Chains A and B, each alone.
Chain A
């Protein structure tokens, strides 16, 4: 291999890992933040679980979308005689997306990693290879999926939450019906999760199952999980019965007082003038945190209102749905880093001239992407998770479960179709769906505008930056 190829490979790996790091640092919090906020998981556990599921999502199911980014958007055949340009193009796409995301997060703009990568790849492809180098039909599909995915996740979470309302909260004895329904929900979530892994997911482990076989395996796994959950749920009850004998970690009065303090602070916060507001919101965050900690300990020793117990039960279901989101997120978003990187690597490995369109994404590259995400999570993501977890007070476990289930299902479907979608926007759509089902006190309509702006701005910005970097890199090679 020639010297310049080593340089290009090194650059591709560095940029790719940087992107993966960014994804792990910023986006993983979406999945686990709510569980940390509701006190279902400690921060440490959330980070560990997220790391495992993000990695397995990226490693086991990340192929489809990575393939799309690698060769579905720009036709590698157009570059058949000019492998160098193809490599440089993909490199500049990575670089452009990275730089654009940096600018956007510095300015506080709501942009998406997926959109910047797709925009960058389209940009360099269209300018260098000509309009025909871009698979416009595929790009059209991707663009359509960006509109459809929030709508779909909103629809799913709307129906899930409405179902929970009607089946549990409208029942005369909410806790009893929640206990009855929980195993079915466990079954659905686990089956979906294992179906994603089993159906064409384990190809990487040489375990390629057909759809009926995968479905059979998945429902068996789901059934086992549901049976375990039945046993666990019956255990919860007995714990409550014997709760009195255990030593109370927190005086109930402390919890009540903290609750009052929070309410009062919220009132102060909503009427205070600007300069006071910032100070008070800090205090409020602190008091809320204290309240959760005490509440969490206290909660398991009291039976107050029945639907609060329902929420307690849903804390565990929410952990499941959060795992589902983490897996789906890893599977879909790893492509943003790995797609262009593997495109560069496959050409470079083949000698730098010819384009091997057939070669699949190497396993070790997927693993590299997974590792990048995990490192991002470990170095920075936990901090984001802590903040987001503390700020989402409005999302109780039933709402969190509904939103996460809707989002994860949508992401998984898109992943199977090989469509790179924005996981954040999908989750926003899912939360709005819960809002539509009268589940949330107030929804800020501005976020919908933000999402649309993100579509409109990011793609041209990524494209322009990619073109600039492309011609810049050409001067060196």
Chain B
């Protein structure tokens, strides 16, 4: 009877979702730090960036734990390499959030008319993409229940399509934002210009990775 219990290894899904929770906490700080940044509160920006750093570190610990203890072999509902890919994409999202926050601590970059509004649209699209992907990770348990197929898989497939659509919207708004930035290159210093482009890159990285995350999960779904 001991044999029967010992058949079951540690399911990787709970730690994976746990890692995602930490990533969510990191990303949730992004709109807050932007808000504070615009108010020019350097100390607060520093403290939030530090908070994101700590959260990212916690996520890293969970990541190492999963990598060290991921069960091997044939009898996994999801391919080991795919699980690791999902994990590293999640990790990448937390890293982008951290990098964006750190960039904001370097310099109080100036803004100009219309930039903040355009940035908000862009950021919202990126975060929406991320939130959709995160929902999919939360559905992993239910996917396991149905053997990665069926009704639940259809639901996830729809979600994945939505992620792709949202990611596209994020791309469009990013183009507009960059165009706006370039049109006003004379009005801001070179340093500010550089900083904004880097921040935009990092935030759009969140959307990119979320999209890839969704695509990876699509690969694990059973085709019928």
Contacts and interface: CB of A to CB of B under 8 A. Distances in A.
Given A165-B150, A171-B150, A432-B75, A442 B1 contact: no
A340 B186 CA distance: 98
Given A442-B11, A442-B12, A436 B74 contact: yes
B4 A431 contact: yes
Contacts of A392: 4-5, 8
Interface stretch (A26-34, A135-143, A179-187, A331-339): A26-34
Contact of A169 (B9, B12, B76, B150): B150
A425 B1 CA distance: 9
B141 to A, nearest CB: 9
Interface stretch (B13-21, B33-41, B192-200): B13-21
A169 B149 CA distance: 8
Contacts of B74: 436, 445
Nearest to A442: B9
15 contacts: A27-B1, A110-B2, A169-B149, A169-B152, A170-B224, A267-B14, A270-B14, A306-B151, A431-B7, A432-B75, A435-B75, A437-B147, A438-B147, A440-B75, A442-B8
B148 interface: yes
Contact of B7 (A33, A108, A270, A447): A447
A33 B72 CA distance: 27
A170 B157 CA distance: 14
A153 interface: no
Given A26-B1, A266-B14, 4 more contacts: A270-B18, A307-B142, A440-B75, A442-B11
B147 A174 contact: no
Contact of B5 (A165, A171, A307, A391): A391
Contacts of A171: 150-151
Given A170-B149, A171-B151, A446 B6 contact: yes
Contacts, number: 137
B47 interface: no
Interface in B107-153: 142, 144-152
A439 interface: yes
Interface string B35-61: 000000000000000000000000001
A307 B146 contact: yes
B10 A442 contact: yes
A172 B151 contact: yes
Contacts of A432: 7, 75
Contacts of B14: 263, 266-267, 270
B19 to A, nearest CB: 10
B81 interface: no
Contacts of A435: 7, 75, 77
B145 to A, nearest CB: 6
Interface of B: 1-15, 18, 61-62, 65, 71-77, 142, 144-152, 222, 224
A170 B10 CA distance: 26
Interface residue tally on A, bucketed by range: 35 or more
Interface of A: 26-27, 29-30, 33, 108, 110, 161-162, 165-166, 169-172, 174, 263, 266-267, 270-271, 305-307, 384, 388, 391-392, 394, 396, 424-425, 427-428, 431-432, 435-447, 450-451
B4 A424 contact: yes
Contacts of B6: 110, 444, 446-447, 450
Given A33-B4, A271-B62, A441 B147 contact: no
A165 B11 contact: no
B39 to A, nearest CB: 35
Given A169-B149, A170-B150, A170-B151, A438 B4 contact: no
A439 B150 CA distance: 13
Contacts of B72: 445
B9 to A, nearest CB: 4
B222 A438 contact: yes
Contact of B1 (A174, A388, A431): A388
Contacts of A447: 3, 6-7
A475 to B, nearest CB: 37
Contact of A33 (B1, B77, B145): B1
A427 to B, nearest CB: 6
Contact of A444 (B62, B71, B142): B71
* Most chain B CB within a 10 A radius of its CB, from A267, A428, A441: A441
Contacts of A424: 1, 3-4
Given A169-B147, A450-B6, A442 B71 contact: yes
A306 to B, nearest CB: 8
A259 B104 CA distance: 40
B149 A443 contact: no
B8 to A, nearest CB: 5
A441 B150 contact: no
Nearest to B15: A270
A268 to B, nearest CB: 10
A438 B151 contact: no
A444 B9 contact: yes
A442 B7 CA distance: 9
